[in-house]
Structure 1
């Protein structure tokens, strides 16, 4: 089972919080109630439970935001959902109107090993069918080539920190590059402009400029770059 046997109900709440607040923004109880189709009173009770589990920070009458622990689970289940949507659409040719519901049913039981295999089959996708970013995997690799090179899943180590792609940040951000996703050509293209694992960058979202902090070089990145360069949050 996913997320160390955390209940599907908890995963659903955290997934909605991530969908509406991937930068740890506060999400209102009303939003959760509408998206989950659950009465506000029941939502409030669950938020109190999630706060006790240290998955969220909850402010009565205002809403909730994800903690680092909650973010880890939310990204993992969201990634599985969006990869499954890609698989159902591109490989199985399931009707568009059925894809989301079927992915919801499958995401909770998809193993990490199977998720990794699907990622290989789909050539490290960055977007699901409705153009939403697929979160990075939580495996301790610097790039997808390193992941592909490790043939034995039993040797795969889980990453401790949470990552966001530059496409997902909602304001200016600075940090260290921890993961680069994509095929060998894309990875080489990103490296050719001076960005690699450990590179310190400053991203000006408004002007769409990445500045390399070691030498001040400025880069106007493509969408492929932004979707696949990940920093710690």
Structure 2
């Protein structure tokens, strides 16, 4: 990451694992080899190293899953990559076909402070240009308004646990609502539904759901929420 303690190569592996299996799905060596454009034998060697470091759980001939610590690193670098893509395209007007490669080069050097500033400039975006959900920041706030009110970055504390947005969850996943992203207008929409930090949420996956809504159970009460809300409500799983 930006502090130099973790190599860019390790970050790349963890990022690909996150993009293919952020719900604990096992990602195969073949998939990693394809995405990273690295020979399977080299991928296997790195997976063993990552397991020794405590970042993944690896099963030979089957694949790897992220540990809690690996997920934390992977979410952080994935967030920086996707928010940089948004910044490069929307603010700097870089050609769309170039933003991915440029974000790849920049994500490892982007400081947490700069990431926070870009997020504020972009008004807390939820999607990158490819319409993938931007992971939540790892700052210990319940909302973006709390983050904005803290002007001194040196006073910002990092969250100790990982989050997933509702739209990233697999069927029957559940946890505690711990962060809500967005501007005042979106927060008002969410709170008007009776949704609050600290409530227990379960994602009731429904293959036959109508339109752009997610069926969830919040404190045992069923509720249909929009995709926009689902992208911006995060639970501790």
Taking structure 2 as the reference length, the TM-score comes to 0.95
Match of 1:212 in 2: 218
User: How many angstroms does 1:148 deviate by?
Assistant: 0.2
Q: Counterparts of 1:2 and 1:66 in 2: how far apart (Å)? A: 20
User: How many angstroms does 1:199 deviate by?
Assistant: 1.1
Q: Tell me which stretches of 4 or more aligned residues in structure 1 moved more than 2 Å.
A: 1-5
For residues 57-206 of structure 1, the aligned pairs below 5 Å read 57-206=57-206
User: How many angstroms does 1:175 deviate by?
Assistant: 1.5
Verify: 1:14 aligned to 2:14, yes or no: yes
Verify: 1:222 aligned to 2:226, yes or no: yes
Residues 3 and 36 of structure 1: CA distance in aligned 2, closer, same or farther (over 3 Å):
farther
Verify: 1:55 aligned to 2:61, yes or no: no
Q: Counterparts of 1:198 and 1:140 in 2: how far apart (Å)? A: 14
Q: Counterparts of 1:115 and 1:205 in 2: how far apart (Å)? A: 33
User: How many angstroms does 1:219 deviate by?
Assistant: 1.4
Gaps of 5+ in 2: none
Q: Assess if the C-alpha contact under 8 Å between 1:3 and 1:76 holds in 2.
A: no
User: How many angstroms does 1:3 deviate by?
Assistant: 5.9
User: How many angstroms does 1:4 deviate by?
Assistant: 5.4
Residues 136 and 2 of structure 1: CA distance in aligned 2, closer, same or farther (over 3 Å):
same
User: How many angstroms does 1:178 deviate by?
Assistant: 0.2
Gaps of 5+ in 1: none
Q: Deviations over 1:43-73 (max 9, x none)?
A: 0000000000010000001110000000000
Q: Counterparts of 1:222 and 1:63 in 2: how far apart (Å)? A: 34
Residues 47 and 200 of structure 1: CA distance in aligned 2, closer, same or farther (over 3 Å):
same
